[in-house]
Amino acid sequence: MHMRSDAVVLFGVTGDLVSKKLFPALYELTRRDRLNVPVIGVARSPWDDQQLVTMARKSVLEANDEIDEETFDGLAANLSMISGDYADPTTYQRLAERLRDAERPVFYLAIPPAVFGSVVEGLAAVGLAGRGRVIVEKPFGRDLESSRELDRTLRAAFDSERVFRIDHYLGKEAVEGLYAFRFANRLFEPLWNNEHIDNIQVTLAEAFGTQGRAGFYDTVGATRDVLQNHILQVVALIAMEAPASDDTTAFREAEAAVLRQIAPLSPESTVRGQYAGYRDEPGVAADSNTETFVATRLTVDSPRWAGVPFYLRTGKSLPGTATEVVVEFKQPQRSLIPAERGTATAANLLRFRLGRGDGITMSIQAKSPGAEVASRPVDLSVDFGSALGRRQEAYERLLDDAMDGQHLRFARAETIEQEWRIVAPILDLPAPVLSYDKGTWGPADAEALAGGWHAPYLR
Ligand code: NDP
């Protein structure tokens, strides 16, 4: 067991991520008695301790219906602020002074990647890197080369055991459920191959647009924002072989191994789209060729998956918000039971609903009522919220793990490099993006790519 961190430092404490995710996570950890250490916010904005507490309270209230005052007071008593420029050595000297009693602080870099280098060097210069852990957010670089460069920067100050790379999908209980589903159930594992599975679809759809962050989004696009990290993580969990044992190293090795078997994506099997009106948003270039939608076909070069296409799509301003994996099984070897009159034969589907209201829906064939021996699809469905109760939020688990020095839910450098290798051929394609109307499933060409997508369950 690694020793638990005895201080938390949030760089970029005035920002969006801290307010949306990290304050609520710190509050939850305090509530669960997992956090009673100094929490130091760092930013250039001239906030004092009281402003920090006020902002923390506001974000906890936004994330929860009610606030437990005793818990919040416990968190507030640990909060303090350091304002300073990241290029100024005295910022780090003040931090080192504040952390003089901390043996294992954890540093969360909730700042734009452009300032990672200065912060890491600043921490190293005052001797804090040598005894601390560092948490970095996605996007981890912009491509393979810049992600390696970023890794070199981090590793110059922190050894690999102390670097925690967040892809928060790995922290989501619903996503981890894919792993549990596959390896805790005997039922489906024998069918989990190209003999029985026809194709697999992954959809990560957002009903909303850029939410006031169009300027940032325009430099990123859907492939870098979501496909390279979240979607490929989901594919890895669906497609991976069983790890050699139940330890962290074996899990991460199995995850990296399946990514190594994925062929680079091909521009010919990729459709990039941009919703109408995107170029009029503040901060977006008038001739922007950034994709707000991408659909593609992926193949896994392994005996298990030979000939099984994985269709992936993600986009903004789509008809609903959902994250789903649909596993489509092949038809029975002999067709004895026809589909109900007037309907097409439907395949068995196993649908993992990974977003809000997560659960599993299995579509099977049942005998349709009446004299005819024919079948129609019916659903077997479970909502995990009702069946299992409250699950933890991703950031709460990830912070808790990083404080314990546990790497299970963090990406290895190699995993991230493999992900960049896979998406490399479709980054920055010169071909113009195809326009689509808001509230549709992207450009018409995307529909043809998968020969028809299974519409996600929308709520
Ligand atoms: P913000 O754009 O909100 O920036 C965070 C803080 O960084 C700002 O409040 C600002 O604080 C400081 N900052 C901004 N620009 C600079 C600069 N040029 N130099 C130094 N400091 C600067 O970022 P987010 O909170 O949205 O994201 C933080 C990190 O997390 C990023 O790496 C982002 O990619 C990643 N991320 C964010 C997600 C989100 O939901 N927001 C989701 C996933 C990843 P001040 O001016 O007070 O110093």
Q: What is the pLDDT, as a whole number, of residue 323?
A: 98
How far is the centre of ligand 1, averaged over its atoms, from the C-alpha of 314 (Å)? 23
Distance 329 CA to ligand 1 centre (A): 43
- Closest Cα to atom 12, ligand 1: which residue? 12
What pLDDT was estimated at residue 139?
86
At residue 193, what is the residue type? N
Compute mean pLDDT per 10 residues along the chain, 459 residues long, and list them.
Answer: 91 97 98 97 98 98 94 98 97 98 97 92 96 94 95 94 95 96 95 98 97 93 97 98 96 97 98 98 96 98 98 98 98 92 92 96 96 95 96 96 96 96 97 98 94 87
Q: Is the CB of 88 under 6 A from ligand 1?
A: no
Residue ranges of the chain that CATH labels 3.30.360.10: 170-392+412-450
Tell me what pLDDT residue 114 has: 86
Cα-to-centroid distance, 382 and ligand 1 (Å): 38
C-beta of 36 in contact with ligand 1 (< 6 A): no
Half-sphere exposure of 141 (CA within 13 A, CB side): 24
Amino acid 81: pLDDT: 98
Q: How far is CA 112 from CA 56, 86, 222, 310, in A?
A: 21, 12, 18, 33
Q: Report how far ligand 1's centroid is from the alpha carbon of 342 (Å).
A: 55
Q: If we measure between CA atoms, which residue out of 53, 39, 49, 35 comes closest to residue 11? A: 39
The answer, yes or no, to whether any atom of ligand 1 lies below 6 A from the CB of 43, is yes
Q: Residues with catalytic annotation?
A: 230
- Contact criterion met (CB below 8 Å) for 337 and 375: yes
Write down the pTM of the prediction. 0.95
**How far apart are the C-alpha atoms of 98 and 42, rounded to whole Å?**
12
Give dist(CA 239, CA 302) in Å, integer: 10
Q: For ligand 1, what atom is nearest to the CA of residue 19? A: 25
Sequence-distant (≥ 6) Cβ neighbours of residue 211 within 8 angstroms: none
SS3 for 226? helix
From CA 40, how far away is CA 107, in angstroms rounded? 9
The ligand 1 atom nearest the CA atom of 109: 29
pLDDT of residue 350: 98
- The answer, yes or no, to whether any atom of ligand 1 lies below 6 A from the CB of 41, is no
pLDDT for residue 273: 98
CATH number listed for the domain at residues 7-137: 3.40.50.720
Q: Where in the chain is the domain with CATH 3.40.50.720?
A: 7-137
CATH superfamily of the domain spanning 170-392+412-450: Dihydrodipicolinate Reductase; domain 2 (3.30.360.10)
Using CA atoms, how far apart are residues 223 and 272, in angstroms rounded to an integer?
A: 9
37 lines ligand 1 (CB under 6 A): no
